[in-house]
Chains A and B, each alone.
Chain A
Amino acid sequence: MKNASISVRLGNHIRRHWQKHLMMIPCLGILILFNYVPMVGIVMGFQNYSPSKGFFGSPWVGLDWFKFMFNMSNFSSVIWNTLFISILKIVSLQLASVIFALMLHEMKMPRTRSLVQGAAIFPNFLSWVVCAGIITDVVAQDGMLNQIIHAVSGTNISFLTNPSWFIVLLVITNVWKDAGYNAVIIMAALAGIDPNLYEAADIDGATRMQKMRYVTLPGISQIVAMLTILALGGVMSGGFDQIWNMYNATVRSSSEIIDTYVYRMGVNSGMYSLGTAVGLFKSAVGAVLLLLSHWAAKKYAGYQIF
């Protein structure tokens, strides 16, 4: 009896919705082939994979690659670099975006404001290949920036060869490229603040700073919290495109991140199994962080992806 009702319901469902299911077929196909099959491919991390023997012929080695990975002298510094660079970038980007958005919001000349905004979001739409090409030339020993620094202080700064200055460079250029766009997202929240609140504050005799402190900041705190939380979910990637296009062997000690390491080991040196193992470590930790961040975003900012 129960079975019959299920099959009747299923029949009804299919009759009503078969076209929706048909629409989902390409998505299912592509996601299964290019997202789920590679998830099965992580077995390579437990094998001594060689392309000639394939998945099924390569010998199993258990956790050997993971032991190897954790015993490598530079692995802990790669993890540390990734987290350090990511967190510096997230904090600096959020801070700069909020300040920039507030400044733009207070600007009273609409024409100039939209010009400034346009200039600020432009770098976001160029690739890191282009941006890094320009930046590495501008900050080179003889480059434009060092000429200015030399004129002011009498010395040059080796942005591209000094490991610490290179991190500063990464953080600043990241702000330059992304803060404008982030600020526009925050400004959408600023535009959504009820104007009555400002009028009420005016009647109560609030100063500009007080209005900012008690009306504007609470109005954007939610979206800023959400952007930060979501960014924290991606803390295991430190920005492959930027670093790959800007770094060189002299600053690798401070700026080798997991993704660049996987590419150099896995693809350039052909150590597929090691690359897979390191990648799996990153994905696993990253998935936990993403789940946590989405849970937190939902709990504290009412955000839901779907």
Chain B
Amino acid sequence: MKSNLKRKTTFDYINSALLILIAIIGICPFLHLLSVAFSSGNMTSQYLVSIYPKEFSIEAFKEVFQDNRMLTATWVSVKRVFLGTVITMVLTILTAYPVSFSAQEFGARKFYVTFMVITMMFGGGLIPCYILNSRLGLINKIWVLVVPGAIPTFNVIVIMNFFRNLPSSIREAGMIDGANDFKLLLRIYAPLSLPCFATLITFCIIGHWNAWFDGMLYMRNVDLYPLQTFLQAKIASISNIKSQQKVEQMLLVSDRSLMYAYIALSCIPIMLVFPILSKHIKSGLVLGSVKG
């Protein structure tokens, strides 16, 4: 019986082969991205590169590194990621703690929860937010990218669920020893929740790194664009040029290699945190909220 379970059948081979094929097709665009970025302009402008580089060249990357605006935009993004992650994590943890108590223990819980749920269900929409932030003088300020969305309700729910699943005896022991709420949170809850926080921190970093729309909306000065907004504008301008002119050949760097070099460089931070992230995702921590 047991050997019967372990033996691989035709189904297993077909299944595995299909999955591997899906995975390969799935990463093909990224292979293409790297191949084009590392190929000569001659090859890429004629669309001769598929999933491996031809006439290997790093000219495109050289050109990107000479672009000061790319560096400025990267710096804005780094600042944004740092500020955004710190602010979001501190405020989210502070918010999650009180609502992790049951309504019997903390009578005002229902009020706060309703207050947050309403914002999940209904919003004023894009234009009122835009007008408000302009009136508040937040145009061209980095704070507009990190403060308005500083407390994502989703993250509050994840941390709240994590806090709730901590054994209540630990909390009671702390209370008997005379710990107040701040001490309880700082000395007992926080150290026990570090794995959960780590996951959310990586999510925060990725979210802030990837955000581009608010930069486009609120930054009038191009030098203040975060990287993804800069990239969006860059890609749009490159594809505009492409549609206007005939494909120029025999160049050292084609627009395509250049665009792909920009894109590839912007993905590096994601690739750095991805291994940590995929480990956490597999352990199922992120799904805390989904399981309710």
Contact = CB atoms under 8 A, between A and B. Distances in A.
Nearest to B289: A305
A208 interface: yes
B95 A26 contact: yes
- B-side interface size class: 35 or more
A229 to B, nearest CB: 12
B127 A24 contact: no
Name the residue among B28, B122, B128, B282 with the largest chain A CB count within 10 angstroms: B128
Contact of B26 (A35, A119, A272): A119
A188 B263 contact: no
B249 interface: no
B22 A267 contact: no
A103 B123 contact: no
B242 to A, nearest CB: 9
Nearest to A116: B23
A40 B124 contact: yes
Contact of B22 (A120, A226, A262): A120
Given A23-B98, A188-B287, A38 B129 contact: yes
Contact of B117 (A49, A130, A263, A306): A306
Interface string A247-277: 0000000000001001100110000100110
Interface string B217-229: 1000000000010
A283 B124 contact: yes
B147 A34 contact: yes
* Interface SS of A by simple majority: helix
Interface string A35-67: 111111110100001010000000000000000
Nearest to B290: A185
A135 B180 CA distance: 54
A20 B126 CA distance: 32
Nearest to A26: B91
A2 interface: no
Contact of B210 (A37, A126, A147, A282): A126
Contacts of A284: 122
Given A30-B91, A262-B125, A20 B106 contact: yes
- A-side interface size class: 35 or more
A304 interface: yes
A123 interface: yes
Contacts of A221: none
B274 A122 contact: yes
Contacts of A267: 126-127, 130, 217
Nearest to B242: A140
Contact of B132 (A20, A37, A108): A37
Contacts of A287: 121-122
A119 B23 contact: yes
Nearest to A284: B122
A59 B155 CA distance: 41
Contacts of A108: 8, 12, 16
B213 A107 contact: no
A142 interface: yes
B201 interface: no
Contacts of B19: 103-104, 107, 112-113, 116
A115 B232 CA distance: 30
Contacts of B12: 106-108
A280 interface: yes
Contact of B119 (A13, A31, A40, A286): A31
Contacts of B185: 23
B51 to A, nearest CB: 8
A202 B1 contact: yes
Contacts of A103: 15, 18-19
A19 B182 contact: yes
Given A20-B101, A38-B125, A121-B278, A272 B131 contact: yes
Given A125-B274, A147-B47, A287-B122, A44 B131 contact: yes
B32 A24 contact: no
A298 to B, nearest CB: 9
Nearest to B21: A116
Contact of A114 (B26, B98, B282): B282
Nearest to B270: A125
A20 B123 contact: no
25 contacts: A13-B107, A17-B107, A23-B185, A27-B95, A35-B119, A36-B119, A38-B132, A39-B123, A40-B124, A116-B22, A134-B263, A135-B29, A137-B36, A138-B32, A142-B47, A147-B50, A202-B5, A240-B213, A262-B126, A262-B127, A275-B127, A276-B125, A276-B128, A282-B125, A290-B120
Given A30-B150, A144-B50, 12 more contacts: A20-B101, A20-B106, A20-B181, A21-B98, A26-B94, A31-B151, A49-B131, A226-B290, A241-B213, A267-B217, A304-B292, A305-B292
List the 7 closest A-B pairs by CB distance, nearest first.
A279-B125, A41-B128, A38-B124, A127-B210, A19-B181, A20-B98, A38-B128
